[in-house]
A = this chain, B = another copy of it.
Amino acid sequence: MSNPNHHVPAIVIGRLPLYLRALTQLSSEGRRVTSSQELSEKLGFSSAQIRKDLSYFGEFGKQGTGYEIEFLEKSLREILQVHHVWEMALVGAGDLGHALANYDGFEARGFRIAAIFDADPQKIGTLMGEWRVQPIEEMRQMLRAQHIHVAIIAVPAAAAQSVADELVEGGVRAILNYAPTTLSVPPRVKVYHIDPVAGLQSMTYYL
């Protein structure tokens, strides 16, 4: 089921985590069956869109009976490859890094911080939650040794590109970027840009 050979548009892949989040919430409320209509109301996409997106990956629902939540949730986890936990590097031990180190939503959804890096000698060696901040000079080697392929950039904009370069050299292929800047990476590397202003602007249209 996961990663079928036919090409799925990136925009569809981008919606799957939202479906998964909604299903996990329904599941936590003790629900067993849902419908594209209910998901539509929760998420704001049309039910036709939801049915079409899911149909890329198989037959999940039956006309009139809807989707079995547990099965669809499990399937989406496999498709997104978060049925196991990815080790991540967190780069940046400032305020944002602290907030991310304390974020308790990673592990249940497929991710765990394996190491935290910073360039600031004042921060290196200090404890942040359960992690001791490592010098960024050692990052590339540690990424390779531990086969870490996912990273979060939580450094100032001016430092973000050089951090991204180091991550790519270390074998990272997926970067969650909090720095307010566009990163240049090879085509094989994915970047997801956390942009609070884009979120705000998508709401002010309606005000």
**Residue ranges of A at the interface with B (Cβ–Cβ < 8 Å):** 3, 10-11, 13-14, 16-18, 20-21, 25, 44-45, 79-82, 86, 88, 94-96, 98-100, 102-106, 109-111, 149-150, 152, 157, 173-176, 180, 182, 190, 192, 194-207
Given contact pairs A96-B96, A98-B95, A207-B174, A16 touches B194 in the complex (Cβ within 8 A): no
Task: Select one of B44, B110, B195, B199 contacting A10, CB under 8 A.
Answer: B44
- Closest B-chain residue to A88, C-beta based? B200
Residue of A20, A96, A100, A104 most packed against chain B (CB within 10 A): A96
Give 13 CB contacts A-B under 8 Å. Answer: A11-B44, A16-B202, A21-B197, A21-B198, A80-B205, A81-B207, A95-B98, A96-B99, A104-B180, A105-B157, A105-B180, A150-B200, A192-B199
Task: Select one of B3, B111, B196, B202 contacting A13, CB under 8 A.
Answer: B202
Q: Report the separation of the CA atoms of residues A90 and B199 in the bound assembly, to the nearest whole angstrom.
A: 15
Task: Select one of B88, B98, B196, B204 contacting A82, CB under 8 A.
Answer: B204
